[in-house]
Amino acid sequence: MAFDTGYALVIGVSSYQHTPAMNVPITVEDAQEVAAVLSDRRYCGYPEQQVTLLHDTTATRQNIEAALDQFAATVKESDTFLLFYSGHGDYGDDGYYLTTYETEFNAGKVVTGSGIHEKTLLEKIKAIKAKRMFLIFNACHSGEISPDSLSGSSDSIGHSLPDRTATALLGTGEGRVIITACRETQRSYFLKTAAMTFFAQAVADGLRGRDIVNRRGYISIFDLYEYVFASVSSEVKQRFGALGFAQEPELTIQKGIGAMAIALHRGQAPDGELDNQDLPPTLSGAVREVEPIDCQQALQQILNGEFTVSGDVNVVARDQIDLRRSQGAIVNPAAGAVITQQFGNTTTINTEGGDYAGGNLSK
């Protein structure tokens, strides 16, 4: 059976032309496996010609942007669009990037313009008309992980999709759902000897219908997420929990969103459309439900150039500072601006027009 309305762009950035030390070959396997199960008529049923796979030297900024433009010209409101990205997400001086084959780094930061900037991503996604859109990111890998390297000898690579960027993606249109491999402050783990990352393996298994309820011949995005969350979080806990490591795939949705089909359930012929009866009573896992007004605010902030910074590379987003591993900072924003600072967990100082805030803070 074919899921004729399904379109997908699957990206695996495994190698870097200018920075071979960043190579993570396993991301190719992630992308190839997800693309294969999507286009398999025994499972998801996406027409093969509607699934675009980019990896290695084809996963360039130009090719990715061109593919998104092609989907914008082809996909209709009634269609389903899925984006799967496995690679590195990281920061430059002008904000967050999804890295590509030709991405360059300087002093630990993405060189401006050498990857898919979050603003570009938002613009490209906004142009795609589908009202069922699933954006899946595996963008924060913890090195080439082995049990030995988990003890601290391997540096983490990249940063997960920021919450604000995920929130902004929801604002690009109706029916957007974002799944990230981990929370913003976590890492996506894999074994050096494994064929795939834990996250991509769970996504592929879920799309095959493993432990997934058959809902009128479809796989519901919520059922898929709950399976992925349970599989990944338990696998990482079992293997590395004693070392203090955790990985919790995160679901970001607008409040009030209904049930949506992401694919056929094991190639079966559908029997009607999903409705509110197909919603789970409660959603388990790491779920962020966002108000529509917050989605639009985040979208406009990024489109207007108000970028976010990672504490690891000390990037500043106008009046917002994210310094997770810093002891503190002094900020001098525009006159009358509200000062927002982050030290470890979020602490907000609102001067309400004043110019000084003091005292001990514990939050």
Q: How far apart are CA 54 and CA 11, in angstroms?
A: 5
Q: How far apart are CA 80 and CA 174, in angstroms?
A: 12
- pLDDT (0 to 100) of residue 307: 52
Nearest CA-CA partner of 186 in 307, 297, 300, 89: 89
> How many alpha carbons fall within 13 Å on the CB side of residue 249?
31
pTM, full prediction:
0.84
Give me 223's structure tokens: 């059922």
What are phi and psi for residue 170, nearest 5 degrees?
-60, -30
> How many alpha carbons fall within 13 Å on the CB side of residue 308?
26
At how many degrees (to 10) do helices 163-170 and 292-303 cross? 110
Nearest CA-CA partner of 236 in 219, 224, 248: 248
At how many degrees (to 10) do helices 118-126 and 61-74 cross? 20
Q: What is the pLDDT along the chain (363 residues), one digit of tens a residue?
A: 899 999 999 999 999 999 998 888 899 999 999 999 999 999 999 999 999 999 999 999 999 999 999 999 999 999 999 999 999 999 999 999 999 999 999 998 999 999 999 999 999 999 999 999 999 999 876 544 444 444 343 445 678 999 999 999 999 999 999 999 999 989 888 888 889 999 999 999 999 999 999 999 999 999 999 999 999 999 999 999 998 999 999 999 999 999 999 999 999 999 999 999 999 888 999 999 999 999 999 999 999 987 554 444 434 344 444 444 444 444 444 434 444 444 344 444 444 444 444 444 444
The β-bridge relationship of strands 176-180 and 250-254 is antiparallel
Q: Nearest 10 degrees: CA dihedral of 45, 49, 51, 54? A: 150
**Whole-Å CA distances, 360 to 333, 338, 351, 357:** 22, 19, 15, 10
* CATH T-level assignment (fold) for domain 6-303: Rossmann fold (3.40.50)
Q: How far apart are CA 226 and CA 339, in angstroms?
A: 38
What are phi and psi for residue 322, nearest 5 degrees?
-120, 100
- pLDDT (0 to 100) of residue 221: 98
What are phi and psi for residue 266, nearest 5 degrees?
50, 40
- pLDDT (0 to 100) of residue 351: 42
In single-letter form, the type of residue at position 327 comes to: Q
**Whole-Å CA distances, 275 to 214, 215, 218, 258, 272:** 14, 10, 12, 7, 9
What does the DSSP 8-state code read for residue 40? Answer: -
The β-bridge relationship of strands 316-317 and 261-264 is unpaired
In single-letter form, the type of residue at position 268 comes to: Q
Give me 20's structure tokens: 């071979």
- pLDDT (0 to 100) of residue 141: 62
Alpha-carbon torsion (290, 294, 300, 303), positive or negative: negative
Q: How far apart are CA 203 and CA 182, in angstroms?
A: 13
**Whole-Å CA distances, 22 to 102, 106, 141:** 12, 13, 10
Q: Where are the domains of the chain?
A: 6-303, 319-363
